[in-house]
Every structure is written in structure tokens, then in C-alpha cells.
């Protein structure tokens, strides 16, 4: 059973800052990013209560405009708090953001959007400071359909004066899920063709309640876990419509699916064929799906190609897989798909994988959340035990990963 997405729950917690009353988020995962975000909200005066899979966020008193610098670099949530803090206090300071070292994720788009909405913003060595007596609607054109920048505009424009038209917006399911939650709180949001979102500002929002849809990244990862071990994993809790492209990709490789309204399984009793896959913004093949897929490529029958087009440093985990016996070569060229925005740069963003690799146990360090899960997958089919370091990354992004892996029959020991 997969719970709500790490990439959704923290954004909903920030959205709750905008309501006049408490908001409840159901089906929330138990992940490290929730703990970090809850601590940040509490540091500025919000009350956060957690009970089983439910999170309640409400104002407990005077709201402080500054997020402490102790949260510098822990995740990317501080930048999203700027808009809500401006609406609540007229000023805001947030520390520098962090997250996985998978490539440049600059705050330029966020800062430009805030300025367009009427805020005075300055970026310093310690963080970002913003001031605004009242924000106003405007037209914003994103240079790239950034998920974070789209969410920042939604969280700011819903209480701004007048209409905001956001062009080239991200349309990932988690973005739509956030917009639906804001709509329940009383926001006026309209999705139009050609990646355009229209937000008509309202004077106030109320608290609301929602149930998060299942995490599509986690669901895909566990489906691959079954395929790579020549077994079968039944995944509950993630709607089929969140995995359309992923299901088709695995099916082309030879996987056979059984899908109901409650669960889905994937098997590959006849083995797996190679594939050429390039990642893209939604509805393309998600960048966070590619790490387990790359491990699966090592067990397919032939040569596969992966072309990463979203983050230029996403292949940072490949040396760990090579150390475990994966026959993988990486390139700065655009392979497996059309030329992307990293064309003619030094960004190593394509990989060629020779299938049929006999993976071996090794002592490796996991560099980020998604690479961490992939390291576990590789270790699961290795011929000897492996020592995986950096497991905190997995705990930051996956719901109770040790319990889940143990339930699938994997032998784990935590030192």
C-alpha cells in the first residue's frame, strides 16, 4: 500500500498556511520531509498535529515572518513559503533551499514571479527576503514548465488582487492535486489549454480537508522491484491514471499487467526486452521513474538507452551501479530521444546500458532519494550482500521503506 506523495504532502502543508482555519491532510506518508516541513511551519507560529496518516495544520497565534536559518539546505520547501508569509505578515525571510544534488534548480523563476506579483525581493548569501503591502495579479511566462515555480505562483496568486495568468505551467498530477486543494479552500483556479493556468484572486481562504492520491513514484518503484527479482509485487493505493506512461513503457519491455481499481501487478515470466526511453515533463516519462528503470535495464536482454532531459546531473548515482557490476556508459550527447535543452553542453545526461549484467554486492554510498531506492533494487539481485550508506535519503522520500522491503522478502540489517 502506497500513501500520498512526498512531492504533494509538503506542498499541501504550505497551502494550509493560507487558510483562516485548520486544514486536514489524509493519507499522508511518514517521510523525513514531512518532519522537516512541520518543524518549519511550527517555527513561524503554526500548529502541526500528526496522528497516524492524518496531518492537521492551523494557526496557533501570531505568525512570524522569518524561517530560521537552521533549516538552510534541508529541502526546497522554504521558497514556497514566501508567498503565504507575505500574505500573512507583509514580509518574509526564508533560508537557502536544498534537496538532492541532481542538477541546477535555481530560484530565479520563483523570484521573478514574486516580483511580477508586486513583491520587493532580494536574494542574499543567507537566504531570500521579500516585502509586499499587497500583491496583485499579473501575467507570468515561465521559461520552462517548472513544478516548483508553478506551485509557488499558485500559492501566491490565490490571494493576490485581480487575475494572474500563468503560461507554460507544469501540469504534473501533484500540481493539479495542489490546485484542487486550494480550490477546496475557496480559491478560483482554472486550467486552460497549452499549459495555461488562470487564477482569480480572492480575499480570503478557509481551512479544508483532502485525501492525497497514492505516490506514483513509489508505486512504479515497487512494480520494478517485482520485475527485477523475477517475482510479483501487488501495489495498492495508486490510481492507474498516474502511471499511464510508466505502465506502457514497462509493457513494451515485456511486462504483463493486471490492473483493478484497487491494485495492480506486473510480471515478466518470459524476460524483459531492452528499450530507449527519454524523460520529460508530464505527461512524459517522469524523471523520478528513471532510476529504478535504469537498474531494470541491467537485467533486460539487450542494450537499452536512457536520455534524461529534466535535470542535467541526474545520473550522479551511476558510479555506484557500475561498482555493483552494472555495464553502463554515460554520455553528454542526447541519446534515445530528440535533442533536449542540454544539447551542446557538458552535462552528462544519457546512458547506454548492457542488459544481462550479473550484479555483485558492494559497499556503496547512495547520493539522493531516488538513487537510494535504486541502490536497494540493485542489491536485491546482487550475488552477495551489499552495504548501502546514505539510507537517510530513502527515509526522507519513501513511506516506511524498511518495513516495505522486509514485507517483500528482502533481508535487511540496519547498523
The CATH number that applies at residue 286 is: 3.65.10.10
- Give residue-wise pLDDT tens across range 306-333: 999 998 888 989 999 999 999 999 999 9
**Do 207 and 220 sit in the same domain of this protein?**
no
DSSP string, 132-175: -SS-B--EEE-SS--HHHHHHHHHHHTTSBSEEEEES----HHH
pLDDT-derived band at 140 (thresholds 50, 70, 90) equals very high
- Give residue-wise pLDDT tens across range 328-369: 999 999 998 899 999 989 999 999 999 998 999 999 888 777
- Quick one: pLDDT at residue 170? 97
CA distance 101 to 299: 27
Return the closest-CA partner of residue 55 out of 6, 88, 22: 22
pTM, 2 dp: 0.92
- Give residue-wise pLDDT tens across range 31-64: 989 999 999 999 999 999 999 899 999 986 789 9
Question: Would residue 100 show up in a list of annotated catalytic residues for this protein?
Answer: yes
Q: Is the dihedral of CA 296, 302, 307, 313 positive or negative?
A: positive
How large is the average pLDDT for residues 132-142?
Answer: 96
CA distance 302 to 327: 11
**Do 192 and 290 sit in the same domain of this protein?**
no
Exposure on the CB side of residue 4, measured as CA atoms within 13 A? 26
Which residues span the domain enclosing 247? Answer: 216-407
**Do 83 and 197 sit in the same domain of this protein?**
yes
**Do 244 and 385 sit in the same domain of this protein?**
yes
- Quick one: pLDDT at residue 392? 77
SS3 state at 46: strand
Q: Is residue 1 part of a domain?
A: no
**Three cell numbers, residue 273:** 526486452
**Do 26 and 163 sit in the same domain of this protein?**
yes
Q: Is the pLDDT of residue 99 over 50?
A: no
- Among residues 33, 100, 280, 288, the one annotated as catalytic is 100
Amino acid at each position: 500500500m502506497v500513501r500520498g506523495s512526498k512531492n504533494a504532502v509538503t506542498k499541501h502543508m504550505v497551502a494550509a498556511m493560507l487558510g483562516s482555519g485548520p486544514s486536514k491532510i489524509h493519507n499522508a506518508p511518514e517521510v523525513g520531509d514531512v518532519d522537516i516541513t512541520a518543524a518549519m511551519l511550527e517555527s513561524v507560529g503554526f500548529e502541526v498535529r500528526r496522528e497516524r496518516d492524518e496531518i492537521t495544520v492551523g494557526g496557533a497565534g501570531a505568525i512570524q515572518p522569518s524561517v530560521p536559518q537552521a533549516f538552510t539546505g534541508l529541502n526546497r520547501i522554504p521558497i514556497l513559503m514566501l508567498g503565504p508569509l507575505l500574505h500573512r505578515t507583509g514580509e518574509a525571510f526564508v533560508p537557502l533551499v536544498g534537496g538532492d544534488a541532481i542538477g541546477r534548480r535555481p530560484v530565479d523563476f520563483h523570484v521573478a514571479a514574486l516580483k511580477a506579483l508586486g513583491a520587493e525581493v532580494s536574494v542574499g548569501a543567507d537566504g531570500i527576503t521579500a516585502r509586499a503591502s499587497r500583491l496583485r495579479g499579473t501575467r507570468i511566462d515561465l521559461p520552462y514548465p517548472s513544478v516548483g515555480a508553478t506551485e509557488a505562483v499558485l500559492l501566491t496568486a490565490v490571494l493576490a488582487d485581480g487575475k494572474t495568468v500563468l503560461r507554460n505551467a507544469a501540469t504534473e498530477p501533484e500540481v493539479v492535486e495542489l490546485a484542487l486543494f486550494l480550490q477546496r479552500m475557496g480559491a478560483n483556479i482554472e486550467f486552460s489549454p497549452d499549459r495555461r493556468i488562470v487564477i482569480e484572486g480572492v480575499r480570503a481562504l478557509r481551512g479544508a480537508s483532502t485525501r492525497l492520491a497514492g505516490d506514483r513514484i513509489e508505486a512504479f518503484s515497487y512494480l520494478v522491484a517485482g520485475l527485477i527479482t523475477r517475482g510479483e509485487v501487488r501495489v495498492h493505493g495508486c490510481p492507474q491514471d498516474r502511471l499511464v506512461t510508466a505502465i506502457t513503457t514497462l509493457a513494451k519491455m515485456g511486462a504483463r499487467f493486471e490492473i483493478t481499481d484497487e491494485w495492480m501487478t506486473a510480471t515478466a515470466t518470459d524476460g524483459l526486452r531492452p528499450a530507449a526511453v527519454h524523460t520529460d515533463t508530464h505527461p512524459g516519462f517522469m524523471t523520478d521513474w528513471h532510476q529504478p528503470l535504469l537498474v531494470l535495464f541491467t537485467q533486460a536482454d539487450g542494450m537499452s538507452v536512457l536520455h534524461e532531459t529534466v535535470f542535467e546531473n541526474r545520473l550522479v548515482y551511476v558510479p555506484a551501479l557500475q561498482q555493483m557490476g552494472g555495464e553502463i556508459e554515460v554520455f553528454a550527447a542526447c541519446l534515445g530521444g530528440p535533442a533536449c535543452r542540454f544539447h551542446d553542453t557538458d552535462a552528462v545526461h544519457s546512458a547506454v546500458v548492457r542488459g544481462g549484467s550479473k550484479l555483485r554486492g558492494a559497499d556503496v554510498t547512495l547520493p539522493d532519494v531516488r538513487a537510494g531506492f535504486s541502490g536497494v533494487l540493485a542489491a536485491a539481485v546482487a550475488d552477495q550482500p551489499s552495504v548501502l550508506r546514505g539510507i537517510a535519503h530513502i527515509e526522507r522520500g519513501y513511506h516506511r521503506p524498511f518495513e516495505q522491503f522486509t514485507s517483500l522478502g528482502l533481508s535487511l540489517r540496519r547498523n
